[in-house]
Structure 1
Amino acid sequence: MRRVWRRELAGWAAALGLALVVVAALASSPRSALLFDDGDSLIVALVARSLADGGGGDWAMSSVLFLPEIAVFAGLDLVLPLPVDGVLAANAVANLLALYGAIRLAAGRRRAGAAPVAWSVAALAVFGLLVLTETSPSRDALELASLLLTTTYYSATVVGVVLAVGLSRRSLDHAGRGAALPVALAATAAVSTLSNPLFAAWATVPLALVLAGLAVLRRADRRRALVLVAPLVGGTVLGFVARIPFAAWIANTGDGYVQPAEWMHAAGYYGGLAAARLSTPAGVLAAVLVLALLGLAVVRTVRTADAGGRLVSAAAWVLPLVVVVGGIAAGTHAARYLQPLAFAPVLALVAVPRAVTLRPALARAVAAGVGVVLLVAGAVAAPRIVQAATTPDPDLACVTDWVDASGRTGAGQFWTVRLPKLHAADAARLVQVDHELRGYAWLVDRRDFAVGTVSFLVEDAQTVPWHLPTAGEPAAVIECGRYRILDYAPETLPLGPAHS
């Protein structure tokens, strides 16, 4: 037992080293904008800090509630004496460790001839390699693995999907040994769906198809496989029902995202993203790696004898296939919906985690050496994370210092105002509006609009030209690098009706 625990702890230590290396690389690349600065990426931090300040808020969310993500960020923010960018970086490390834990569950229990810990570390390393190939600052690029490191782009859903696969595998491996695993599967589906209905498309539908396929192809697996469909589907339905009390927070139910008539445009859109990705050597490397994993998954689905290994193998290629086909059929236009293309294929590595035959002493030496190298690499990488998270942004500081000192309330558009809003001493001092100064109730606390009027505007290169028929020229213009503050004081500008 002691040896088992040492092995598991060594796996977690190696995963921590890998996580630090991957986060350091991302934080030092242009894609760090998605981690620290992107307007979409800041909703979790905004909500968590609002809750920490004692305000429940009247939030206008998308169809995603980000409940696990908010809980994780709030917990890290509470215990870590770090500025907000430091907490975002720590959250990225936590997300990768959570993925490792889910992959380890999917690798199955320790048994003779198997090395689930080693292969789980290998799977995380391959996923990390995919992250390292992604450097574009664009949220619309087909660079899917790195989205897990953000607090917003469905990190909890990714982990929930892999957990569902792992719990299903463990249930098949331990059939007839109680209801704990099916109950855990139902709970995972319920919480994941409550937070993000996309779980149904990423996990419930494709995993139910995989379980049904197991039942059809092998009579010996029929009962065990079909029994798992009930907690998976039942938990998903329960999650949808649990969303009802949160209706006031859900500004968009997601129905508008499904436009089947647009399927040809969706296919062209995703094809264009794929072409752009394949135009770089890093993109080609990532594509080859994913295709190799998908090929391995198909081969192992055919050749694997045990039901648990076959389930994980099939999930590794069925999940991406269903999501891509479904995304095009639904007429969607967002790269983030295709994330199973990045995380599901790595499950092929843990479907059949066979141990490599080595002498015990040599095996221990290799494992220890790899662990030490990863920990040292993580220790070397940690200062890069600190540097990236603490590098001063004088333009942002210029805006927030001016806003804090003014004691007044101003406004800005979505892509412009959210970063200063997060870093200002009082987020309510910056109201989110559209170009006609109407309140823009999207991923924001609607209580902000109660102020009624503002006396200055913040703009940058992303700001749509203002259309303010009731306003004259600003009394002063404060230049803050990439930002400008248009100060109308003592005049005030009335806010228009809020919309989402």
Structure 2
Amino acid sequence: MRTWLRELGGWMLAAAVSLVVAASVASSARAELLFRDGDSVIVAMLSRSLLAGDRLDWAMSSVLFLPETAVFTALDAVLPVGVNALFAVSAVVNVLALYGAVRLVAGRARVGRAPVAWSVIAVAAFGALAMTEMSPSRNALDLASLQLTTTYYSATVVGVALAIGIARRMLDGARLLPMSLVLGAVALVSTLSNPLFAAWATVPLGAITAIGALRVASRGRMLAILAALLGGTLLGFAARIPFAAWIANTGAGYAQPDLWQESIGYYGDLLGDRLSTPLGVIALLVVVALLALAIVRTVRADEPGARFVALAAWVTPVLVVIGAIALGTHAARYLQPLAFAPMLALVALPRPLRVPVRARRQLAAVATVVLLIAGGLSIPRLATAANAPDADAACVTDWVEASDRTGAGQFWTVRLPKLHLDDPSQLVQVDHQLNGYAWLVNRADFDAGDVSFLVEDAQTVPWELPIQAIPDEIVDCGRYRILDFGETVLPLGPQRS
């Protein structure tokens, strides 16, 4: 079979896998994270603001979401669908992008290698992990499905895999200068967008290359990889300086080394929760098996590139977990390398199965047909999940738009209705004292100065209003309530983040 046909077939199968995985996750309780979570909507909100030509004065976290926003904005500009459908399409695109990076990691196609087939298998294994994850919580140890969101570092995951893939190509004999420049560019853009790239890629891969440079045979190429990674990462941090006004939190405060014992307890509790279900146990066994395979392939590898990938598959998650605990962190999303790095063991040595050629072709044909059919059947299922009605949120947005006034709500309450308004500035994000809450939002919203109604739900902290005021009417919108103060004006306080 011609190389381009084999590669095209790989992309088609990867697209089918992406559809199956996205439909499964979107049809589970995890849909809360895909479509409605307060954090998850930031990329869509920023994209809409860009397309609308708003004055941009955004207060971001330490993550700028630059690649994610670029992709979402492009999809929003060309697809005539609603925001939930865009989230669904993004989920498919994110998994497909991961396949592209894994395919790079698998190395060049040549005699005695089946990189396309093993790349599809690796992404399918990752997708299977995502399909075992059912928790609606962003804090659960459900790490693979985070790749399907627009917010939880999907571009960083792809960037780390790309870095490993480029390094492998360099060790396999690719020209050093151009590949070093490409690796440096990936490190620069990834670090600029999310400093976590340094912890997920630069530190573990740097450690691998530094030790590998002790071997005379591969010293030059290992040092080139190390230089490109370090140089690109440092330039990425420097490139963040012009964005300082947008970065409301540098992330330095997240490191609390004195809380390392509490961190162990926190992650231990999350692991216990994950293992409380049969699917969680199966997922853990899959990850352990892949880590064991990575260690075995590290020992057996007879090529520098294959050994590098195998090392990255188990060294990266191990160092990330140790680092997360040592820094006293309390966020499951920081541990995502536990989900995506071990699968790279499958493409470290992508050799064909040791079965007769005819049987192998028959197996491939059957798998192809099954995957394509499953992918096709997943499209309507994904569409149904994306178009599932939310009467309560619709009640709020309809009322707000009909009022032609400006109101406010707290972060976890107001994000979803705000996203779905034709004019998102009609809902201002505040804290319980009505101070402007400048976090993952356009600070231009606070120009309103005052509001005349409040939106609340079960997550709303009891209000401490700056003036004595009683609502004229309380509008019931299911899980939401709208406190309408009519002609009474509630002044907004100073901004905080």
TM-score, normalisation: structure 2 = 0.99
Distance in 2 of aligned mates of 1:3 and 1:469: 71
What's the counterpart of residue 210 of structure 2? Answer: 212
Cα distance per residue 1:424-464 (max 9 Å; x no partner): 11000000000011000000000111111000000011111
What's the counterpart of residue 189 of structure 1? Answer: 187
SS at match of 1:471: coil
AA at the equivalent of 2:74: G
Q: After the TM superposition, which of the residue ranges 97-106 and 276-285 deviates more from structure 2?
A: 276-285
SS at match of 1:466: coil
What's the counterpart of residue 21 of structure 1? Answer: 20
Deviation at 1:212, TM superposition (A): 1.7
Cα distance per residue 1:137-172 (max 9 Å; x no partner): 010000100000000000000000000000000011
Distance in 2 of aligned mates of 1:138 and 1:31: 8
What's the counterpart of residue 474 of structure 1? Answer: 471
AA at the equivalent of 2:289: A
Deviation at 1:208, TM superposition (A): 0.6
Distance in 2 of aligned mates of 1:470 and 1:224: 67
RMSD (CA atoms):
1.0
Residue in structure 1 matching 2:456, options 445, 454, 459: 459
Distance in 1 of aligned mates of 2:357 and 2:343: 27
Distance in 2 of aligned mates of 1:472 and 1:183: 61
Distance in 2 of aligned mates of 1:183 and 1:468: 55
Distance in 1 of aligned mates of 2:283 and 2:378: 23
> Which consecutive unaligned segments of at least 5 residues does structure 1 have?
none
Distance in 2 of aligned mates of 1:152 and 1:434: 22
1:101-500 matched pairs, under 5 angstroms: 101-175=100-174, 177-216=175-214, 218-500=215-497
Distance in 2 of aligned mates of 1:346 and 1:387: 30
Distance in 1 of aligned mates of 2:42 and 2:429: 13
Cα distance per residue 1:75-132 (max 9 Å; x no partner): 1111111100000000000000000000000000001111000000000010011001
Instruction: Give the conservation status (yes or no) of the 8 Å contact 1:471–1:493.
Output: no
TM-score, normalisation: structure 1 = 0.98
Distance in 2 of aligned mates of 1:373 and 1:181: 37
Distance in 1 of aligned mates of 2:173 and 2:301: 17
Instruction: Give the conservation status (yes or no) of the 8 Å contact 2:209–2:225.
Output: yes
Distance in 1 of aligned mates of 2:318 and 2:424: 42
What's the counterpart of residue 56 of structure 2? Answer: 57
Distance in 1 of aligned mates of 2:344 and 2:211: 18
SS at match of 1:489: coil
Q: After the TM superposition, which of the residue ranges 316-325 and 207-216 deviates more from structure 2?
A: 207-216
Deviation at 1:365, TM superposition (A): 3.4
Distance in 2 of aligned mates of 1:371 and 1:49: 38
Instruction: Give the conservation status (yes or no) of the 8 Å contact 1:13–1:371.
Output: no
Distance in 2 of aligned mates of 1:471 and 1:273: 43
SS at match of 1:457: strand
SS at match of 2:41: helix
Q: Percent identity?
A: 63
Cα distance per residue 1:253-289 (max 9 Å; x no partner): 0110011111111111111111111111111111111
How many residue pairs get aligned? The number is 497
Deviation at 1:363, TM superposition (A): 3.3
AA at the equivalent of 1:133: T
Distance in 1 of aligned mates of 2:260 and 2:339: 22
